[in-house]
Amino acid sequence: MSSVNSAHSVVEPGAMSKRIAASIVIAYAVITMIPLVWIFMTSFKSPPDSISYPPKIMFQPTLEGYCNLFTTRTRQTSEYIASLGTPTSTCDETTRSRNMVIAGPSNYWPRFKNSLLIAFGSTFLAVSLGTLAAYGFSRFRVPLADDLLFFILSTRMMPPIAVAIPIYLMYRQLGLSDTALGMILLYTAVNVSLAVWLLKGFIDEIPREYEEAAMIDGYTRMQAFFKVVLPQATTGIAATAIFCLIFAWNEYAFAVLLTSGEAQTAPPFIPTIIGEGGQDWPAVAAATTIFLVPILVFTILLRKQLLRGITFGAVRK
Amino acid sequence: MQTIKQALLGATSALVLFMAPSLAKADELTLCWAAWDPANALVELSKDFTAKSGTQMKFEFVPWPNFADRILNELNSGGKLCDLLIGDSQWIGGSAENGYYVKLNDFFDKEGIKMSDFADAAVNAYSTWPKGTPNYWALPAMGDANAWFYRKDWFAKPEIQAEFKQKHGRDLAPPKTWDELKEVAEFFNGREIDGKKVYGAAIFTERASEGITMGASSALYSYGFKYENTPGKYDMEGAVNSPDAVAGLEAYKELYKCCTPPGYTDAYMSESLDAFKSGQVAMAMNWFAFFPGLYKDEKVGGDKIGFFVNPKEKVAASTLGGQGISVVSNTDNMKGALAYIKWFAQPDVQKKWWSLGGYSVHKAVLTDPSFPESQPFAADFLVAMNQVQDFWQEPSYAILLQAMQKRLHDYVVADKGTAKEALDGLVKDWTEVFKDDGKLN
Amino acid sequence: MPKFRKETQVTSVTDTSSSILGKAAQATPAPLASRIRGISDRTMAWLFITPAIVLLLAINIFPLIWAVYLSFTNYRANRPNAPLENVGLSNYSRVLSDPNIWQAMQTTAHFVFWTIFLQTLIGFSLAYLIDRKFRGHAFWTTVILVPMMLSPAVVGNFWRFLYQPQIGLFNYIVSFLTGIPPSSFEMLGSVQLSPWAIIIVDTWMWTPYVMLICLAGLRSIPDYIYEAAEVDRASLWRQFWSITLPMALPFIMLAVLFRGIENFKMFDMVTLLTGGGPGSTTEVASITLKREAFESWRTGRASAFAIILFVAVFGLANIYVKALNKVKQR
């Protein structure tokens, strides 16, 4: 286990080489952010601004994209609109200025809620089951442990479409198609392999003597696990959780094949947001922005654990 | 262990409860269709049904490129998303054979709904399986065909007219043949109009679902392409790859190469609309379904737009679109779904449907003397519906369609091989499919 | 690896004072501890492991076996009522003799090779530069990491917009830098450029991942080796080739393995960017598989293809891991 964060005093590089390194890295970082900044900017453009040629860098910001994202609209005659009375909200006003009226809410919010439920539900389950199993593998003599572990990991090598074929048939039989429960179970199963593998490493690092001592003190194995091991493993659990969450939050292939409406998550939904005619890019950008925010917040809050998880996984293999 | 078990049990049961499929309410119906202009008209129309019956209508509209994929997936997985489905004509075969749709004959008899009240071509295409037999799996809901529209205001500019006449020795007018179509498209392509560079035509080139097949078949049918030499015999050699078919496909590619705007390599309905609405093209192909909306468009509608039927070359032909409305067998609200169909089949409702922008194929609407004048494209619609040809409606249609998508896109867009090779390859692919299905030896 | 195989000799079991947690060195062997509680280790172990294993069996293994079974039949998921026939190996032979599938494999190989090549090159260079530890390097590292956290589908969809010839930012920037008119080339629509369009997006997303692993590798090199090299007056160039690169190599190889497996499975980003087009230019194996399984609904044949893919990844990964272990041992 190496740690990215710990200082290590290489023969200190010279100031010049540092400056060059800094400028290249910063340049790369800035370039890599351009598409994301563009998504953010597009979400505040009006539809005509978003598809103007050449692309507009300066524009009058508007919330139209966000309005369009959360509503469905129908085109009406201007006489009809004039007869409606005063608009009740900014969105109402923007919509009417395009000769349309708001017909109702769009499906984005239900899909976003599905994403929240499925991603957090499966992460919780995967980490719970993963911690238990990792502890089991770490502390007990399990027959064929190595084979089992390798096998568990190898299930992640299957292309998702290949996994989806039999799952599709199975869920059809069980009535789990297009249900959040089905998606949670599936994501949990996919994530549990990674969770076991990562967490076993973290738990291996906790000296077994701690809980043994606790047990001699009169704790049961369960109590020792909860009161001694779990607190020690929080970093590892957080790192694992964020990995599981990123996977479940971003997953597309299973979602597009196994859900059609009720349990559909945001990733398969966002590309299908269309306005009149083609894709409504400001609305798509707004949906993308809203969708990216939770994962960005998590990443920034838990970046230390995340870094540790990635490098940790690398070293352990 | 107990605690853990309890915790897990608690968590799981909480999830199960949270997710328990919301019990379908008897007074609610979900209708699935594609997300496009007519769907909005249907929402409007259905308000009358809700007012009359008290049944709440929910709608699930899927954009065209994902429509077939997602709804067929839904049907195959036995989902309960849709009570009513306005599904594509090609789905009838598979859905009937697998029992995904409710057979409507008894219901029609009981309620006195007569299929003879609807246009024959539409009934045959949207309702029957096996084809041509009086076994009905849907009520024709929306007639449609592929056709064209053009910038009337550009065509009318005196300097453009003069230049065209001088160049081609005839008046600039909406093309009547594919040769003329290409001539006009070439004429406009690259021209500066109102200070903007414009292109000849927007056509379908979409790869993933059905776009390029629907677009290219408009050329293929006109040039004399046939699926079989003898209908029902699956003898495709010499029909699918006949010299006429090859010429048709070459014409489509030439049109694509010379006259489409940059970036239209994967374009379907919405891209064609975008190109036209943004003033990039002189002509564009699309389904009749969009014409009411185009005619109403603030920027390019009204006086600025004109419509024409798919030009003929050897044969007068149009590519069929359109759908029938079916009841999904899996529905929990069979009564409500049938009540909707009964309501929808009434002549008054059908008339309102047309006035809102839906294409009714009820004879009460089509044979009304005022119909051809009711919209600038209404007369064209009648012409087109009388000359429609449709893709295979076989239960294996998806495999057949995929093969055609690949062969056509490879040839037209990706520049692979010749038209003859593409169509020869198609015969080979299709033969294999029919062999698998036991329809060929 | 279970540690208790090297059991520590018990020195004292009598010290049960409250400070015991601090005296971790005084170990108790596991069997003793469990004997105290009266549940055998084996039972205990299974209690912990079973839930995860059951889930994996139900949702990974059972379906896999089912897929193997289906691959020998003519089953089609959209015709549940059709008679099921055993067709032996014919699905496999048809998949393996299908030129489209070989083309898809070739496309996948091209994609995997170039993404790995670029990501390793850029990722390692970045890691090397970040390891210079300039001021603020931690902050910029976090910034660089952002793309890999995002959904490939959602972001891929947006890249389709960036690649639009007339209105897209990408073409505009290229045109700004080179003077080529932006509408003169089509990243997604041209046979020559579209394979590179998907490689660019993948590289943008996943270079940070490779960079992180490389960084871990660079930081695992002990300082004294460099110090010794300094003493020997080895040039920086020499130090790089004889110390930095060889010692970081296992990490680089690991990054290559992870990215290789991931990109072999690639589906979401490419589907949303090009859908496999134009023609079949960017149709990677997963897209072909999806078309076969969920559009054509030839479930049996698709299962055979899926098994072939799985065996291929699994086999290649295993060979690679063997090579990796050899490098590590050096």
pLDDT digits (tens, 9 = 90+) for B216-236: 999 999 999 999 999 889 999
Same domain, C161 and C228: yes
pLDDT at C250: 87
pLDDT at B415: 92
pLDDT at A299: 78
pLDDT at A313 over 90: no
Task: Indicate the pLDDT class of residue B1, thresholds 50, 70 and 90.
Answer: very low
**Closest partner CB to B415 (pick from C166, C191, C276):** C191
Does some domain include residue C292? yes
**Closest partner CB to A222 (pick from B3, B15, B71):** B3
B44 contacts A222? CB cut-off 8 A:
no
Distance, in angstroms, between C202 CA and closest chain B CA?
Answer: 21
pLDDT digits (tens, 9 = 90+) for B393-440: 888 889 999 999 999 999 999 999 999 999 999 999 999 999 988 898
**Mean pLDDT for chain B?**
90
- Counting as contact any 3 or more CB pairs under 8 A, the partners of A are B, C
Does some domain include residue C277? yes
Distance, in angstroms, between A262 CA and closest chain B CA?
Answer: 7
Does some domain include residue B6? no
Task: Indicate the pLDDT class of residue B282, thresholds 50, 70 and 90.
Answer: very high
Distance, in angstroms, between B270 CA and closest chain A CA?
Answer: 4
Same domain, B249 and B136: no
Domain boundary among B269, B285, B319: B319
Closest residue on chain B to A262 (Cα): B81
Nearest to B360 by CA among B138, B147, B142: B142
The answer to whether B342 and B96 are in contact (CB under 8 A) is: no
Which residue of C150, C162, C320 is the best one to mutate when testing the A interface, meaning the one whose CB has the most A CBs within 10 A?
Answer: C150
Across B62-83, b (16+ Cβ under 10 Å) vs e yields bbbbbbbbbbbbbbbbbbbbbb
Task: Indicate the pLDDT class of residue A11, thresholds 50, 70 and 90.
Answer: low
Does some domain include residue B363? yes
Position with higher pLDDT, B416 vs A14: B416
Residues of chain A found within 8 Å of residue B60, distances taken between Cβ atoms: 261
Return d(Cα C258, Cα C216) in angstroms, integer.
15
Sequence-distant (6+) residues with CB within 8 A of C328 are C250
Domain with B227, as residue range(s), is 146-319
| Dihedral of alpha carbons B339, B340, B341, B347, sign | positive
Q: What's the total number of domains in chain C? A: 2
Q: Is A279 on the interface with B (CB under 8 A)?
A: yes
Same domain, C268 and C165: yes
Does some domain include residue B44? yes
**Closest partner CB to A262 (pick from B44, B71, B81):** B81
Sequence-distant (6+) residues with CB within 8 A of C28 are A209, A212, A213, A215, A216, C10, C13
**Mean pLDDT for chain C?**
84
pLDDT at B90: 87
Distance, in angstroms, between B193 CA and closest chain C CA?
Answer: 18
- Counting as contact any 3 or more CB pairs under 8 A, the partners of C are A, B
Residues of chain B found within 8 Å of residue A270, distances taken between Cβ atoms: none
DSSP, res C86? B
pLDDT at A95: 86
Same domain, B77 and B160: no
Does some domain include residue C270? yes
Domain boundary among B270, B304, B319: B319
Residues of chain B found within 8 Å of residue A179, distances taken between Cβ atoms: 19, 21
Which residue of A37, A42, A161 is the best one to mutate when testing the C interface, meaning the one whose CB has the most C CBs within 10 A?
Answer: A161
Same domain, B70 and B188: no
Domain with C254, as residue range(s), is 94-329
Closest residue on chain A to C205 (Cα): A32
Does some domain include residue B307? yes
Same domain, B308 and B349: no
pLDDT digits (tens, 9 = 90+) for B392-401: 988 888 999 9
pLDDT at C6: 33
B395 contacts C79? CB cut-off 8 A:
yes
What is the enclosing helix (H) or strand (E) of A117? helix A108-139
**Closest partner CB to A9 (pick from C34, C157, C223):** C223
Same domain, C86 and C132: no
Does some domain include residue B403? no
Does some domain include residue C48? yes
Return d(Cα B4, Cα A221) in angstroms, integer.
12
Same domain, C124 and C65: no
Does some domain include residue C4? no
Q: Is C240 on the interface with A (CB under 8 A)?
A: no
pLDDT digits (tens, 9 = 90+) for B314-327: 999 999 999 999 99
List residues in chain B touching A: CB distance below 8 A: 1-4, 7-8, 11-12, 15-16, 18-19, 21-22, 35, 37, 40, 43-44, 60, 62-63, 66, 70-71, 73-74, 76-79, 81, 270-271, 273-274, 277-278, 293, 296, 298
pLDDT at C39: 63
Q: Is C247 on the interface with A (CB under 8 A)?
A: no
Task: Indicate the pLDDT class of residue B174, thresholds 50, 70 and 90.
Answer: very high
Pair type for strands B192-193 and B146-151: unpaired
Does some domain include residue B250? yes
Mean pLDDT of C107-130: 96
Same domain, C187 and C225: yes
Distance, in angstroms, between B260 CA and closest chain C CA?
Answer: 12
pLDDT digits (tens, 9 = 90+) for A86-103: 888 888 888 888 888 887
Which residue of B15, B57, B278 is the best one to mutate when testing the A interface, meaning the one whose CB has the most A CBs within 10 A?
Answer: B15
In which residue are the tokens 């008897």 written?
B26
pLDDT digits (tens, 9 = 90+) for C286-313: 999 999 999 889 999 999 999 999 898 8
Distance, in angstroms, between C123 CA and closest chain B CA?
Answer: 32
CATH of the domain at B150: 3.40.190.10
**Closest partner CB to B66 (pick from A99, A175, A272):** A272
Same domain, C188 and C294: yes
Same domain, C79 and C123: no
Same domain, C44 and C69: yes
- Counting as contact any 3 or more CB pairs under 8 A, the partners of B are A, C
Residues of chain A found within 8 Å of residue C149, distances taken between Cβ atoms: 246, 295-296, 299
* Class in CATH terms, A109-272: mainly alpha
The answer to whether C129 and A24 are in contact (CB under 8 A) is: yes
Same domain, C180 and C50: no
pLDDT at B25 over 60: no
pLDDT digits (tens, 9 = 90+) for A215-246: 888 888 888 888 888 988 888 898 889 889 99
Does some domain include residue C13? no
A274 contacts B63? CB cut-off 8 A:
yes
Same domain, C163 and C257: yes
Q: Is B402 on the interface with C (CB under 8 A)?
A: yes
**Closest partner CB to B409 (pick from C78, C278, C295):** C278
Q: Is C280 on the interface with B (CB under 8 A)?
A: yes
Same domain, B137 and B41: yes
Secondary structure (H, E, C), chain B: CHHHHHHHHHHHHHHHHHHCCCCCCCCEEEEEEECCHHHHHHHHHHHHHHHHHCCEEEEEEECHHHHHHHHHHHHHCCCCCCCEEEEEHHHHHHHHHCCCECCCHHHHHHHCCCHHHECHHHHHHHCECCCCCCCECCEEEECCEEEEEEEHHHHCCHHHHHHHHHHHCCCCCCCCEHHHHHHHHHHHCCCEECCEECEEEECCCCCCCCHHHHHHHHHHHHHCCCCCCCCCCCCCCCCCCCHHHHHHHHHHHHHHHHHCCCCCCCCCHHHHHHHHHCCCEEEEEEEHHHHHHHHHCCCCCHHHEEEECCCECCCCCEEECCEEEEEECCCCCHHHHHHHHHHHCCHHHHHHHHHHCCCCCEHHHHCCCCHHHHCCCHHHHHHHHCCEECCCCCCCHHHHHHHHHHHHHHHHCCCCCCHHHHHHHHHHHHHHHHHHCCCCC
Does some domain include residue C9? no
Closest residue on chain C to B265 (Cα): C189
The answer to whether C301 and C76 are in contact (CB under 8 A) is: no
Same domain, B119 and B204: no
Chain B residues 232-261 within an 8 A CB cutoff of chain C? 261
A99 contacts B60? CB cut-off 8 A:
no
Return d(Cα B266, Cα B339) in angstroms, integer.
40
Same domain, B84 and B167: no
